[in-house]
Chain A
């Protein structure tokens, strides 16, 4: 069959998907100016031609009736949340914002806060905040998976997803723990399928068997929040049976380095150093000690011909007792036997033991030797690269618990004991990772960093190495609105977006003026305690003034949050704008080298939509932020594409947002003068720049001399010291010493001292999540969690006519035994209650969930009228939001504290415990709570079709 004669031809344009954060290459087929088809770009390194359900439904996002198309101002006299708006011009909107922000910046810049959702433009939004001079900036990481970033990066210098991942190409055993489907979604699907076809064994540890767990060879159900106990027991068994890779640990971790005992004053628990040998880089001193078992004495770490003891206790000349870090780890995990973990996790001890043996034996006996020569950081030449083919993947399932940081440290340590870091078949980094431990960037150190009309001296977010790096004042009070980098959450490397509204409402630590959210649905699925947060957004003081004076939202759609804004700025879709997946942010690198990419507009913006990037650059120019204006004050960049080409991190640095095709003719990589044709070159190359490295730079990169020097030469990193795996974390110990009053310098406020001393343990340990500790487990016996449906991304897809036919409303999945014990029938309406709230929803029996857990799909439930759905849509009347059960704050010593990990501030989404009961006869067959329907905002579709038949090229006048 041939195409219908006379059928309009299609034109293909390449760009990058944004239906989730995966960033696959796509081909957009246009017919008569409308999107006829979106498929995967076969020449793109990330997805190699495949595409997912979301990517295939981009058409319905583009033509969604929920599109915001005009700047809107809340009507005088209407309340936030009422949805009463009037269209204004862009000039009015920007002038209003400019005037407000100019006044804030001239007085106290931190009274402006910018928080963004899963935006993929943190390099620009972060630059804007820094230039503005406010520390109150973060993206979504704090409520997403910051524990995964921090726990892994503070241990191995890299993490999962953009940062690195399992090398399934050569792995033999793959273990996935907790929900992680959406982080590196298509690449992981491609790789898991190949892995299974090649005969690899896939073990899934998860309370629920859905998603990728469905095709696992073995499903190991586990109680939520207890992964740390399992991982520590696995470590216990691996050490007890000698299944660890000793050679790897000796050379590539701090296992053999000697740690002072408790008798060393301010050096207690810190690494012993040889004061006579050079420390090298003061930020990352290298003069630590081993106890050489061949000569039975202390020697400099990595001394040639030495081999350190990993176990034992030794006495340094001078009498100080020291132990190798590995000895301390062994002591730590000694009580964590499989039987101990079985009682906590619900996994039989025999299964834990078998899994540990399987991991250890597979790693040891199925070794890979690649004929790749490389040189390590200590100058030793190796003729091969060795791999131990056991790999892991985890994301939010491990991260979103208030004990997640230590759980993830335990995972990173387990991976290290098995000798799998940056080796074939194990875990591999993606550039610019590995980074130093911790990475060099530091947050502002105190209130003196914030000055009127002045940029911050450093980025708002960074990686504290010691209490001196915290953002606190002389009394230890937080500098940031979210209390990030304070003693409450010292290593909150991604900020804490989830407490911003609560803190701003309360004026704690101080009141602010303007809160700008970019594509973050804080009035719904991105907040805990949603009902109260919506009330806070609309709350006024005694004088009738809003407690949060001015709220600005930029979004593409009429989200729940849009209706709470005073000013709404309509953003474009991903098909209507330029974008960069920058090396300065979170690029899309592959194991074999750095990759960054761009989006190219394939359609004109709808209505008056403007890309948020353009808004920021315009505002920055109007406000005269130094990086965005010439010395004479004139605007420096015409628009966002011009900014991307010509911006340099410092004048003449040659480093900009895009790493590919730099230099006058596009001949340089990573640094080089601006190339006026850079966009064209990306466009002509599938919108992606892939800098493939030679094989000798593709493995062992924490300690690969050639690779590390290369990263220095291309200015990807300033430091080139070996990045030793931190089984034992001196960073954490420094905070603990401060809390114990044994360290000069900053100390925590009195009420936080024992919190710091407890949770800043240099070795991983298990504790029940803070919320579980605060909950009566007799009254609330069940864990309640969410998982992400593969066909939807957060709340983004309920406006999508095709995707919502897959998930129009959600059920609560309950093990039949658990449901029957409460008299709840399959499909029946039921109540779920936590100590903090309740919801009414529908039950669905499932044998694929462990009996102590109930779960539902994340963010399917909606507020009536939001996302331009009919007020009677399934999402709002049959669907529900689990967030109503989750508290944003926990009672704590007569006061309250954020429901977050005490180390990183990670939101404890998956810690809530509940009880269930049937709904009474005669109750409405409708989810609860319900909210008054918000009206359609001006500029969204005027009417909704009863029937829609999309045929590209025939919708003239309808769009």
Chain B
């Protein structure tokens, strides 16, 4: 059973928001769109985005971490948004595990967004239907695109390759290996939703040097005579001892 998902590497995400707007531009003119913006040029502009980057700080100065945290539908293995839907509009595809909304059935009641513990569903402002990340389902199977382009828009855009895409049920996939090798974790496992998307934590590289690395025979200061040997004729034990 395939379960497509994103694995997001927080170790390299710089919070540039490329995934946010590339998602918007692909999807607003795609099968999930349009994605309306309210007051696009006025006060408090707000619109539908399937993917947003939240930025927060951890720790106190000077031991502060600034974390950029991209968040979109996690395509849970056991999605709580599906059983609460009164019309069957919210569904999880058997073939690839993508959680989708059938707009023809959606009545905009928002039960699913109440049920989602991650806050990743957004009611579209104009059509008043529930929308969310589709993993660019209208790209990834499109045979008119070259194979390298059959990836979600956010994954294609990401300048740091922080977004990996693949089947987390295939143990040899890039995403499974990344989760395994870099301590990938799921959000809020206590909810039992088994999110498919995973996050890779920050990994810190430290420097380790030893004091003796500062003491070297080839120190160039020797050549300049700045670390001179004592003059040959200076007093030494040789002059005063014999065994």
Give A contacts to B, CB under 8 Å.
Answer: 1-4, 31, 36-40, 42, 47, 49-57, 59, 65, 173, 181, 185-186, 189-190, 192-193, 196-197, 199-202, 209-215, 217, 219, 221, 241-244, 246, 293, 309-312, 354, 357-358, 361-362, 365, 790-791, 799, 801-806, 808, 815, 817, 846-851, 868-870, 872-874, 877, 944-953
Contact = CB atoms under 8 A, between A and B. Distances in A.
A56 B21 contact: yes
Given A361-B213, A803-B21, A2 B143 contact: yes
Given A2-B143, A51-B22, A948-B36, A189 B14 contact: yes
Given A2-B142, A40-B157, A847-B57, A801 B45 contact: yes
Contact of A244 (B49, B216, B220): B220
Given A802-B21, A947-B36, A214 B16 contact: no
Contacts of B242: none
Given A40-B156, A944-B41, 17 more contacts: A1-B141, A54-B21, A211-B15, A214-B66, A217-B206, A310-B220, A357-B213, A358-B209, A851-B61, A869-B41, A870-B41, A870-B43, A873-B43, A944-B42, A947-B40, A949-B126, A951-B28
B67 interface: yes
A951 B33 contact: yes
Interface of B: 11-18, 20-22, 24-26, 28-29, 31, 33-47, 49, 57, 59-62, 64-68, 125-126, 137-138, 141-144, 148, 153, 156-162, 202, 204-207, 209, 213-214, 216, 219-227
A219 B41 contact: no
Given A189-B159, A293-B223, A801-B37, A217 B66 contact: no
A951 B45 contact: no
B135 to A, nearest CB: 11
A868 B41 contact: yes
Given A38-B25, A241-B214, A870-B42, A49 B156 contact: yes
Contacts of B227: 242
Given A217-B206, A357-B209, A802 B41 contact: no
Contacts of B126: 947, 949
A211 B222 CA distance: 43
Contacts of A54: 21
Contacts of A802: 21, 24-25, 37, 47
A201 B205 contact: yes
Contacts of B60: 847
Given A211-B14, A791-B17, A872-B42, A310 B29 contact: no
B38 A947 contact: yes
5 contacts: A311-B226, A805-B47, A808-B44, A848-B61, A951-B29
Interface SS of chain A: helix, strand, loop or mixed? loop
Contact of A952 (B29, B36, B158): B29
A200 B25 CA distance: 34
Nearest to A877: B43
Contacts of A201: 205-207
B49 to A, nearest CB: 8
A260 B46 CA distance: 67
Given A39-B22, A312-B224, A192 B41 contact: no
Contact of B159 (A190, A214, A311, A846): A190
B29 A209 contact: no
Nearest to B67: A214
Nearest to B125: A947
Nearest to B156: A39
B42 A946 contact: yes
Contacts of B161: 50, 190, 193
Contacts of B49: 805
Contacts of B34: 949-951
A173 B207 CA distance: 9
A803 B16 CA distance: 11
A574 to B, nearest CB: 16
A215 B12 contact: yes
B15 to A, nearest CB: 6
A51 B157 contact: yes
Contacts of A192: 12, 14, 160
A806 B17 contact: yes
A465 B141 CA distance: 62
Contacts of B148: 42
Contact of B39 (A217, A799, A946): A946
Contacts of A31: 29
A37 B26 contact: yes
Given A242-B221, A805-B46, A200 B29 contact: no
A847 B61 contact: yes
A791 B29 contact: no
Contacts of A55: 18
Closest 3 CB pairs of A and B: A246-B220, A193-B160, A949-B34
A54 B157 CA distance: 11
A427 B17 CA distance: 28
A511 to B, nearest CB: 40
B21 A186 contact: no
Nearest to B124: A949
A799 B216 CA distance: 60
A59 B25 contact: yes
B204 to A, nearest CB: 5
A244 B62 CA distance: 30
A849 B62 CA distance: 8
Contacts of A952: 29
Contact of B28 (A212, A358, A850, A949): A949
Contacts of A243: 214
A3 B207 contact: no
Contacts of B35: 949
A791 B214 contact: no
B204 A217 contact: yes
A846 B57 contact: yes
A385 to B, nearest CB: 21
Interface centre among B36, B126, B205, B209 (most CB of A within 10 A): B205
Contacts of A849: 61
A210 B66 contact: yes
A805 B25 CA distance: 14
Contacts of A847: 57, 59-61, 64
A568 to B, nearest CB: 20
Interface centre among A801, A804, A847 (most CB of B within 10 A): A847
Given A197-B12, A214-B67, A805-B46, A948 B40 contact: yes
A358 B208 CA distance: 8
A293 B220 CA distance: 13
Contact of B137 (A1, A214, A946): A1
B67 A221 contact: no
B12 A217 contact: no
Nearest to B44: A874
Interface centre among A189, A192, A815, A817 (most CB of B within 10 A): A189
Contacts of A848: 57, 61, 64, 66
Contacts of A221: 61-62
B12 A193 contact: yes
A874 B43 contact: yes
B66 A209 contact: yes
A197 B45 CA distance: 37
A224 to B, nearest CB: 16
B42 to A, nearest CB: 4
Contacts of B68: 214
A950 B153 contact: no
A65 B49 CA distance: 21
Given A196-B11, A309-B224, A791 B57 contact: no
A854 to B, nearest CB: 13
A196 B13 CA distance: 11
A309 B225 CA distance: 9
Contacts of B157: 39-40, 50-52, 56
Contacts of A173: 207
A52 B26 CA distance: 14
A824 B106 CA distance: 47
A54 to B, nearest CB: 8
Nearest to A194: B161
